[in-house]
């Protein structure tokens, strides 16, 4: 009975490798050198599919993969907290960062977010941003962007951005300041609920191996 694991290239892939190794699984190809999107592992019954980070929950939810690793940011935007065939058994505590609000250094954010005010916000994370500012009683005009978020306040496209922050060095290099931390982000293991029933033993074994290897806070 084979198991398919969905991963995205980059930090999540790199930081998931030690967890896989703890489960006795090693990916046999380097995704940065190979053009293959389906990678074999040292276990003949386990394969890895490489997909965009934002597509991991979709592949798992609709059965293209049995399980996957996705950031909390992606899961929140996907609406994965609402069920829909996805089970989230573990916070793997990898690929950690935070989701924050950032503005130009000369922008008066405190005045801009007084209750009843209106602010223009550029972000990839429209669901999170909408809920955050609604909770503050602030009207928000959302501008959906997919990259180079820091440009939005610098060009006048938006007053603020909501984005992932790791070290803050990119914000600093572009004369932006982090003014509000919305939430901490880490990557979660997500499992297709139907697969968990059909392949209960091998998937449960993987979950337990991941749990034992997950770093402590």
CATH of range 97-184; options 3.60.15.10, 3.30.1330.40, 3.40.190.10, 3.40.50.970 = 3.40.190.10
What mean pLDDT do residues 92-103 have?
96
Measured CA distances, 141 to 8, 59, 165 (Å) = 31, 31, 22
CB-based contact 150:27 (threshold 8 Å): no
* DSSP per-residue string spanning 130-194: HHHHHHTT-EEEEEE-SS-TTHHHHHTS-SEEEEEESSSHHHHHTTEEEEEEEEEE-EEEEEEHH
Q: What's the pLDDT tens digit per position in 29-46? A: 888 888 899 999 999 999
Average pLDDT of the chain is 93
Which of 55, 31, 28 shows the shortest CA–CA distance to 44?
Answer: 28
Q: Against a cut of 0.85, is the pTM above it?
A: yes
Going by pLDDT thresholds of 50, 70 and 90, the confidence category of residue 82 is very low
Q: What's the pLDDT tens digit per position in 99-126? A: 999 999 999 999 999 988 999 999 999 9
Measured CA distances, 53 to 102, 160, 162, 194 (Å) = 23, 24, 18, 22
Q: What is the pLDDT of residue 217?
A: 66
What mean pLDDT do residues 194-216 have?
91
Assess whether pLDDT exceeds 80 at residue 216. no
CATH of domain 3-95+186-213: 3.40.190.10
């Amino acid at each position: 009975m084979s198991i398919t694991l969905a991963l995205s290239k980059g930090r999540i892939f790199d930081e998931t490798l030690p967890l896989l190794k703890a489960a006795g699984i090693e990916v046999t190809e380097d995704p940065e050198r190979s053009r293959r999107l389906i990678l074999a592992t040292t276990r003949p019954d386990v394969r890895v599919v490489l997909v965009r980070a934002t597509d991991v929950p979709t592949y798992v939810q609709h059965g293209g993969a049995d399980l996957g690793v996705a950031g909390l940011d992606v899961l929140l935007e996907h609406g994965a907290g609402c069920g829909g065939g996805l089970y989230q058994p573990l916070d793997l505590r990898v690929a950690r960062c935070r989701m924050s609000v950032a503005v130009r250094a000369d922008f008066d954010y405190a005045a801009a977010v007084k209750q009843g005010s209106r602010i223009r916000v550029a972000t990839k994370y429209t669901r999170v941003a909408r809920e955050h500012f609604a909770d503050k009683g602030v009207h928000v005009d959302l501008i959906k962007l997919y990259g180079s978020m820091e440009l939005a306040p610098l060009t006048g496209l938006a007053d603020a951005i909501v984005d992932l922050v790791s070290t803050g060095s990119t914000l600093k290099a572009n004369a932006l300041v982090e003014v509000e931390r919305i939430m901490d982000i880490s990557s979660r293991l997500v499992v297709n609920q139907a697969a968990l029933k059909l392949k209960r033993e091998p998937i449960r074994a993987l979950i337990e191996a991941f749990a034992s290897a997950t770093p402590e806070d």
